[in-house]
Every structure is written in C-alpha cells, then in structure tokens.
Amino acid sequence: MNPLITINTTKEFSNMKILFVLTSHDTLGNTGEKTGFWVEEFASPYYLLADKDVEITLASPKGGMPPIDPKSNLPDFQTKDTHRFNEDISLRDKLSNTLALSSINALDYDAIFYPGGHGPLWDLVDNQDSIQLIEAFINNNKPVAAVCHASATLLNASTTKGQPIVQGREVTGFSNSEEAAVGLSQIVPVLVEDALKAKGAKYVKASDWSSFAVQDGLLITGQNPASSAAVAELLFQQL
C-alpha cells in the first residue's frame, strides 16, 4: 500500500469531530428518585469512537457535570466499558466540564450523538438549542445518532419543508414493552415508541434488551443500552 495513502487516511480519521450531547436533568418525575444519563450508553460509544482517534466534544443543556443515573452503576449493568469509565479519571474530569448547548456551532462538528437514560425525556425533547442543532446537522448533510430514550430528542426537529425529520424514516428507541418492564410507563413524560409513531416514523424494534440499531439516511438510532456500540459503529462507518 502506498504509505501516503495510509498517512492521509489516518489524518482524515483523526480530524473527525463528534459532538456528544448529554442530559442535565436529574429528577425521575414525581418518584423522588434520581435519573440522568445511562453510563453504558455514554461509555460504550465514547470508547469505540475515541479508540479510533475521533475527537469528541461533550455538551449538555446547562453545561458542567451531567447527572449519572444511579441505577446504571448497579452491578447488573456493568460492562467492560463502564468499568473502564469508572477508572478513567481523565474522562470523568472532561465530563465534569461539558459545554453549554447554547455555545455550540454545528458547523464545527461532523456528527452529533445523543446517549440515553431517562433524563433526556425531560430536558432535550423540547430544548430549542438541541432541536436547532439536530436540524443544522441534517441540513448540512451530517449524521445524527441517538440511542434508547435519546431517540426522543428527534421528535420536534423538522426538515426544511417543515415536516418531522423522523417522518417516513425507520427509527428505533426504547420500546413500550421495555419501559413497562422497568415500571416507568406512567412516570415518563413520553413513551418513545408511541411518540415516534405519532410523528410518522416507521418505528422498528428487536426483542427486548437485545442489541438493535438502524440507519435510515442520516438518522442512526439504537433501541436500548445494549445497542449503544452498534449505533456508534454505524455512525463511524457513515463518517
């Protein structure tokens, strides 16, 4: 192989810039419990992309440290990536200094990625800064990726013709049956599956808790925490 080609390819990969948007919301409705982002849905995509020399910037509605859903730290939900995250002082320091969404310019990045957790259902569905960013990425032919509950961030974004960006598109996200299984169907402000269908999306899913990701044009979505790496891999391939 021509060494110049190798050098150029590596340089191209190293110049990839992806914006991760995390929730700033930490209250689980009226339950008295805490919520936030789900560690696996952040750590797994982050390391998959960072290990490929992708430059990742972290942002959230309020900036600063986004809340972690305490349940995502329970033993049953640990993976090699969450263990790596727990020992990664540098990343945790970076996480404590997320940029405020209002300061972000979509033109500075090649793609945008939304990790899930229940938090985004409260502060990213109607967030105008987030909606404008999603629309700007799509309008500039840049991919938008989301996993699990974060698929709800797509609900209020529109095309240049004023149609929902999910209309007629195959998308996935946390299913009604999965929400029922965790006992929060009556707590969450929106059921992701129902809300996507209401916007005209072609909602698709696999069996509960299995890894499932789908791409339709510039939209890349994953069904649940187990789908996080698959979403990141599709995003990397798209770039």
Q: What is the pLDDT of residues 30-43, one digit of tens each?
A: 999 999 999 999 99
Q: Identify the domain containing residue 221 by its residue range.
A: 3-238
pLDDT at 48: 98
150-204 residue pLDDT tens: 999 999 999 999 999 999 999 999 999 999 999 999 999 999 999 999 999 999 9
Question: Which phi and psi (to 5°) does residue 17 adopt?
Answer: -125, 125
115-157 residue pLDDT tens: 999 999 999 999 999 999 999 999 999 999 999 999 999 999 9
Length of the chain as a residue count: 239
- Which domain CATH number covers 220? 3.40.50.880
Cα-based torsion angle of the residue sequence 131, 180, 168, 110 in order, rounded to the nearest 10 degrees: 40
Number of helices (H) and strands (E), helices first, in the chain?
9, 9
Number of domains in the chain: 1
Q: What is the CA radius of gyration of the chain?
A: 17
Quick check: 7 pLDDT over 90? no
Q: Look at residue 56 and give its three-state secondary structure.
A: strand
Quick check: 64 pLDDT over 70? yes
Distance CA 43, CA 121 (A): 20
Tell me the average pLDDT across 90-108: 97
39 Cβ contact partners less than 8 Å away, ≥ 6 residues apart: 68, 69, 72, 73, 77, 82, 85
Residue 119, Ramachandran bin (φ over 0: left; ψ between -120 and 50: alpha; else beta): alpha
Count of CA atoms in the C-beta half-sphere (13 A) of 137: 30
Q: Kindly state the tokens that stand for 108.
A: 């500075």
